[in-house]
Each structure stands twice: as structure tokens, then as C-alpha cells.
Amino acid sequence: MKRSAPVNRRTVLKAGGALLLSVMAPHSAQAMQILAVRVWPAADYTRVTLENDAELKATHFLVKDPHRLVVDIEGLTLNATLKELVAKIQTNDPYIKQVRVGQNRPNVVRLVFDLKAEVNPQVFSLKPVANYKHRLVFDLYPAVEIDPIAALIEKGEWAKDTTTADKVADKVADKIAEKVAELSIDKKDEKKVEKKTDNKADAKTENSSDKTNAKLASKPDEAKPVLKLDDKVTAKTDVAGKEIPIEKSTGKVATHTEESKEKSDAVVRMITIALDPGHGGEDPGASGRRGSREKDVVLAIAKRLKKKLDELPNMRVMLTRDGDFFVPLQTRVAKARGVQADLFVSIHADAFVNANARGSSVFVLSERGASSTAARWLADKENDADLIGGVNINTQDKHLAGVLLDLSTTAQINDSLKLGKVVLKEIGGINRLHKGSVEQAGFAVLKAPDIPSILIETAFISNPEEEAKLTDEAYQEELADAIVRGIKKYLAKNPPLARNKMA
């Protein structure tokens, strides 16, 4: 009988290693499968998110004629979840026409985005946070940056009388120039005209001047400048109540009188308000027991508030987001400053660990620490929105963020406190207040140095009773009305006419 060869240690180790690899191989393959795909189209930019158990490595490049974005993702095998991306592209997406998904080569999946316009893509990865695992993000921004004021004009937000003092002056000058041209007699013809004819012309000129003044003065409700034609060629506004000299040679309103200019500004001063619905897109915010999401509730309230403010004279409103997409905290502040907002109102509906917590609150910025432990906790939680929503840290201007904090002046905080007090008082008329005074904390969205800014916690969405209120249309209307009353009362006592804005 033949004796079997002894089993040495190396043979055992080889067998064990092979067994270990066979056990781990399916597990590794499973980890590199896409778990979810999401698309967030918006006018600002379109975001595409791929969520995975492990970090994904991707490379990308742009192709022209027609415009396309090509993305190669390593370590992936095409699965049903990834194929769902094709159906998630909406026809009204501003930047993506369609997407094609395929297995480009072993363990490499290729995505080809057919674009509607040239884009500036940002591709980056996010570490696991909150309920999310690893995320690979594609942000498709327009190649030409959108001007915030131009965007307002395109949306019709400035369809009201937004005439500035300079434009009023130009209109007045044009009117004057027209009348002077009509009433002037060419010097060459003047030599050929008899004295009698000259008298008739003068009489005609005088009558025309009287008719012109009578016609323009017959519409005082339009607050248009009343023109007065005489030897000095002057124009006078019925609101300013003071004549503004006009230069005959150019037909332009003289601007050397500062007092006249300030009064002219007062005639046409428009007030711009930035409304900031919190969270959005990848960041749902807090959630209620019934499934209500903070990002949806506050957007609905902000839209109602915008509609009411838009109906007021000399008022225009900009939303930092008008749909379900994420806006970084620093970008929200930049948007408000971009349209030279006079007020900034951020709207939230937070949750607390205790479901019994209830009531509305108003917060303003603090440079010296939070006014309470709860305020500090809330500010830290809100400031984490960038982590959850997903910010490309390579594009964040950390220096600017620090400058905004350093430049936050006592005057800005004092103005914010005044605004916060009147708004809080009005909200207290329709809902219980969590605290009877305005609180302070280091909220990132309140750091615009030149804009009075408040953050309103409309109610606790974690409280079942308040969640029901927040999703009720009638209550949303009452809440919007209360905020409007507070803003109007603040502006009545603190008109932003003379406030200097930073460039």
C-alpha cells in the first residue's frame, strides 16, 4: 500500500488563500454595484448623483459638434439601477438632452450625456454622510455664467417700474430735446422770415408749451416728471418738489446738486428682497412623522411669500432656489449680494430630538457665540447642510467665507435684530413662539455683511401637530401674511434708501 505524501504548510496556505478569495470575490463585486441614481435639473445647474457602497473613480472629457460630456467610471459592471438613469432625464432639463449608458470595456462603464448647450462640468466624490453612502456627483453648469440680475429680468421680475434716477433724467432730457427741436427755427430760415411771421411763430411756441405742460400735468398719479419749458429749460418733479436744471447743450439733467439727486433717487427706489428656502435637492432637511420633508414645506411657504411681496409697490423678490435642487450656503449669500438685496429672509422648519418641542423662532447672526445652547445646536445642524447636500470643496472660496464673517458689522446685526423683532411679533399672532425674543447664532447664510438677514424657523416639523400645520395651505397663507406684515413695518421705520451697498 502506497503511503500518501505529507501535506506541508505551504499547501495548506495556498488552499486557504484560494478559499478566502472565492468567498470575498462575490462580495467585492457586489460592493461595486450602483445603489441609486438621481437627477436634479434646475436653471442654475443640473446635478446627477450616483450612489455606491464604495468610492468610485471617474474620468471625463468634453466633445463638441454636438456638445457631449463623456464619463468613464472604473470598477463597475452595468446593472439595472444604472440603466435607470436614462429614464430619469426630463425633457425640460436645461442642459441634458439625453444620456447613453454602456459597458465600454471590462470593469469600465461609460456615460455619454448629449447636451443642449455647452457646459462647465464639475465631477467630484462625496464621503458617506447622514443616510447617504459614497456618492459620485456630476454638476453641469452653463459655460457662460448666469448673471443674477439678467435672470431676474428674463423671468419678468423687473417688469415693474424699475427706472433709476439716471433713467428718469434721460427720459426728461429726451422730452426736452424733442420739444426744443420742434420749437427751434433754423437760423438760415430765420433771416428770410419777416417780423410778423416771427411774432406768429413765438405765439405758436408759447401755445405749444402751455399745451405740453397741461397734458403732462394732467396725470399726477403716474408720478412722472412735469416739464416746464422756458428760457432756462428746467424740469421739475412733483415728488421732489425742486427744480433740477438741465443743460441746454446736452439736454442732460445736471447732477452737481447732491440734494436733488438724493430726492430723485427717493422717487424711484425699488426694494429687493432675497427669500431663501432652506435645503433642497440632495439635502431634504428635517422630516416629519408623516413623511413631510422640510425642503418641500419651506419652498411652498417661500413661493406664497414671494407672490404676496411681488404685489406690493416698488418691491421685487428673488428666490435663492425656485425648485428642488441644492444650493450651497455660500452661494445663497452670493446670490443675494448679486442682486443687491435690501433684506435676506431664510425660511426653515426644523426638527428636534424631542417630538414635543414646538413653536416658531427667528434668528440673526452672532459674532460672539450663540445666545443659547439650543441656538448653537441648531446653527451647527443647519451649517452641516453643505456636507449633506454635497459641495465640491475644490470650488469653495474659503477665503471669501472668512472675509464675510470678518466684515459682518454691528450695524448689520442691529438692523437684523430690528427686522427679526417685528417679524417674530407678527408670527406670534398666528403660532406659539418657541422663545419670545430673537436669538443669535453663527448661521452661515446670515453672513452677508451689507444685508440685514434673518432666519425663520416656522415651526418644528418633528412635532406632529406642527407638521400638520406646516403642510396646511391655509396656515401657510397665514404665515406668509404675518411675515409680510413684519417686513412692511420694518421698512416703514427703516427705509433702505440711503444705505450704501458693497460692490
Tens digit of each residue's pLDDT (9 = 90 or more) over 108-149: 999 999 999 999 999 999 999 999 999 999 999 999 887 877
Cα 446 to Cα 60, 247, 309, 405, 414: the distances in Å are: 36, 46, 21, 9, 13
pLDDT at 49: 97
Q: Nearest Cα to 286, choosing from 364, 384, 209?
A: 384
Point out the least confidently predicted range of 34-48, 264-278, 279-293, 441-455: 264-278
> Whole-angstrom Cα distance, residue 478 to residue 217?
42
Q: Nearest Cα to 282, choosing from 139, 398, 396?
A: 139
3-15 burial by CB neighbour count: b if 16+ within 10 A, else e?
eeeeeeeeeeeee
Q: Could you tell me the domains of the chain? A: 28-142 (2.60.40.3500), 165-268 (no CATH), 270-493 (3.40.630.40)
Question: To the nearest whole percent, how much of the chain has pLDDT over 90?
Answer: 52
> Whole-angstrom Cα distance, residue 16 to residue 218?
101
Q: Is the pLDDT of residue 272 over 70?
A: yes
Q: What grid cell was written down for 87? A: 429614464
The residue with greater pLDDT, 146 or 425, is 425
Q: What grid cell was written down for 282? A: 440632495
Q: What is the CA radius of gyration of the chain?
A: 32
pLDDT at 120: 96
Strands 243-245 and 46-52, by their bridges, are: unpaired
Q: What confidence tens digit (pLDDT) does each residue in 426-464 have?
A: 999 999 999 899 999 888 999 888 899 999 999 999 999
Q: What grid cell was written down for 483? A: 411675515
> Whole-angstrom Cα distance, residue 85 to residue 81?
8
Q: For residues 184-206, give the mean pLDDT.
A: 49
Q: Is the pLDDT of residue 14 over 80?
A: no
pLDDT at 152: 73
Strands 226-228 and 271-277, by their bridges, are: unpaired
Helix, strand, coil shares of the chain as percentages rounded to 5?
40, 20, 35
> Whole-angstrom Cα distance, residue 119 to residue 48?
14
Q: For residues 321-345, give the mean pLDDT.
A: 95
Q: Is the pLDDT of residue 264 over 80?
A: no
pLDDT at 156: 60
Give the confidence band of 391 by pLDDT, cuts at 50, 70, 90.
Answer: confident
Q: For residue 38, give every residue at least 6 positions away whose Cβ sits within 8 Å of its Cβ, in sequence order, or none.
A: 47, 48, 49, 51, 88, 282
Q: Is the pLDDT of residue 171 over 80?
A: no
Average pLDDT, the chain: 77
Question: For residue 40, which phi and psi values (nearest 5 degrees)?
Answer: -125, 90
* 3 state SS of 500: coil
| Distance from the first to the final alpha carbon of the chain | 98
Q: What confidence tens digit (pLDDT) does each residue in 49-97 have?
A: 999 999 999 999 999 999 999 999 998 889 999 999 999 999 999 999 9
| DSSP 8-state secondary structure symbol assigned to residue 225 | P
pLDDT at 352: 85
Strands 315-319 and 271-277, by their bridges, are: parallel
Q: Is the pTM of this model over 0.75?
A: no
